[in-house]
Amino acid sequence: MMKNKYSILLALLALIVVCSSCKEDPLLKEAREFALKQGEVGVYEKDKTKPIFVYDEDKHQLAANPMQFMCRIQTDDQAKMLQMTLDKQPTLSATCKLSVKSKGVPSIGSQCQVEVLKIDGDKVWLLDHESYMSFIFYYPQQ
């Protein structure tokens, strides 16, 4: 009888620990919501009012190589450039490795793990859980 009480108590404690660890990080939730509100291809930082670097049809060229999971934004004179490459085809809720190359753009970092938040038309919304930086990736389907 006493063993059953201890077993039940231990099971309840384990359940409480598991359930409390399942609660989503509020900063991550906020970063997801912020990322999904953005609309232009580029890079965004959650706490900034202006994006880090985004495509502007009047100022930039936008290119992609869907076979290599790569997209690129650059100015006509190539003074500013952002190239993003995924390690695999993006699928909803998957985790991918994102490699970033840039020129004339504030430091972004060269690699990060990203979650695929949304795929809509030619765009893929990505979120880095560590930096809370978000990316909208240009990915035209063939």
Three-state SS at 53 = strand
pTM: 0.81
**Does the structure show a pLDDT above 60 at 28?**
yes
Task: List the CATH number of the domain containing 88.
Answer: 2.40.128
Show the domain range for 108. 25-138
**Does the structure show a pLDDT above 70 at 6?**
no
Distance (Å, whole) CA 106 – CA 41:
16
Q: How many domains does the chain have?
A: 1
CA angle 69, 41, 108 (to 5 degrees): 80
**Does the structure show a pLDDT above 50 at 19?**
no
Residue whose C-alpha is closest to residue 37's, from 118, 108, 137: 118
pLDDT at residue 107, as a whole number: 73
97 found inside a domain: yes
29 found inside a domain: yes
Instruction: List the end-to-end C-alpha distance of the chain, in Å, as a whole number.
Output: 66
pLDDT at residue 47, as a whole number: 79
39 found inside a domain: yes
32 found inside a domain: yes
Which residues are registered as beta bridge partners of 133? 45
pLDDT per residue over 44-93, tens digit each?
Answer: 998 777 899 999 999 999 999 999 999 999 999 989 999 999 999 999 99
Burial, 122: exposed, middle or buried (Cβ in 10 Å; 0-12, 13-18, 19+)? middle
